[in-house]
Amino acid sequence: DTEVTQTPKHLVMGMTNKKSLKCEQHMGHRAMYWYKQKAKKPPELMFVYSYEKLSINESVPSRFSPECPNSSLLNLHLHALQPEDSALYLCASSQVQDNEQFFGPGTRLTVL
Amino acid sequence: RKEVEQDPGPFNVPEGATVAFNCTYSNSASQSFFWYRQDCRKEPKLLMSVYSSGNEDGRFTAQLNRASQYISLLIRDSKLSDSATYLCVVNLGTGRRALTFGSGTRLQVQP
């Protein structure tokens, strides 16, 4: 299995909702990442987990809360988001941190 | 100066043309280099890693010039399906231990 999967593909939520994005990989990779991407911009790193521990938090607002339950799974919990948080949220994994990354198809999030 | 810099384009080329993109990086200690391709509304996909000796994969050739701190991507015999944004990605080796993305170069291959 050489892919990264993400659910849901699309998500529409209100500013008071709580939702979670999920990411899974079965390549035995030990680093996993969350990125945010706005239209016509490159992916912007949010969080990095290495060996299931949070390695990098790019000063992301606390309304985004990552979780790594095990080496194959990565979640992003969302609460009290703002309309400007609407974007494509990409998960990626790599064998170890710093190696080439493989991306999931993303979750397209709209905050109303 | 941006840490990883690319010409945003767009590069509009006819089918069959050869096109080259450059990407400059700020840190001479940068350790690894990649080209990714991203289609509209899709995820980035790894196109190729860039090695010190240069490497080729079919119509695609990647080169690294450490002295001038840039990497290049050459596409020969362009196809319509090559139309995409090409992202230069660098491990800057600053201790941050994360890859840094360039802003991407848009390629449009025309019939």
Q: What are the Cα distances from residue B101, in Å, to A110, B58, B59, B70, B94?
A: 24, 24, 23, 14, 14
Q: Of the candidates A2, A23, A40, A94, which has an alpha carbon nearest to the alpha carbon of residue B10?
A: A40
Q: Report the pLDDT value the prediction gives residue B83, as an integer from 0 to 100.
A: 98
Over range A91-102, report the average pLDDT: 93
Q: What's the mean pLDDT when you consider all of chain A? A: 95
Would the CB atoms of A56 and B45 count as touching at under 8 Å? Answer: no
Cβ contacts of residue A39 below 8 Å, gap of 6+? none
- Inspect the interface and report whether the beta carbons of A41 and B103 lie closer than 8 Å: yes
Tell which residue, B38, B43, B52, B28, has the closest CA to residue B88. B38
What's the pLDDT score for residue B27? 87
Q: What is the pLDDT of residue A1?
A: 58
Reply yes or no on whether the pLDDT at B1 is more than 80: no
Provide residues of B within 8 Å CB-CB of chain A. Answer: 31-32, 34, 41-46, 49, 87, 91, 96-99, 101-104
Lowest mean pLDDT across A51-60, A99-108, B29-38, B96-105: B96-105
Average pLDDT, integer, range B58-69:
95
pLDDT at B30: 86
Q: Which of A76, A73, A66 is nearest to A24 (CA)?
A: A73
Residue closest to B99 by CA, chosen among B3, B2, B1: B3
For residue A2, is pLDDT > 70?
no
Summarize the confidence of residues B75-98 as an average pLDDT: 91
Say which residues have a Cβ less than 8 Å from residue A34's Cβ, sequence separation at least 6: A23, A45, A46, A47, A64, A66, A74, A76, A89, A90, A91
Burial of B76 (0-12, 13-18, 19+ CB in 10 A): middle
Helices (H) and strands (E) counted in chain B, each on its own, are 0, 11
A residues 1-40 lying closer than 8 A (beta carbon) to B: none
Percent of chain B exceeding pLDDT 70 equals: 99
Per-residue pLDDT tens over the stretch B31-63: 899 999 999 999 999 999 998 888 999 999 999
For the cut 80, the answer to whether the pLDDT of residue B97 exceeds it is no
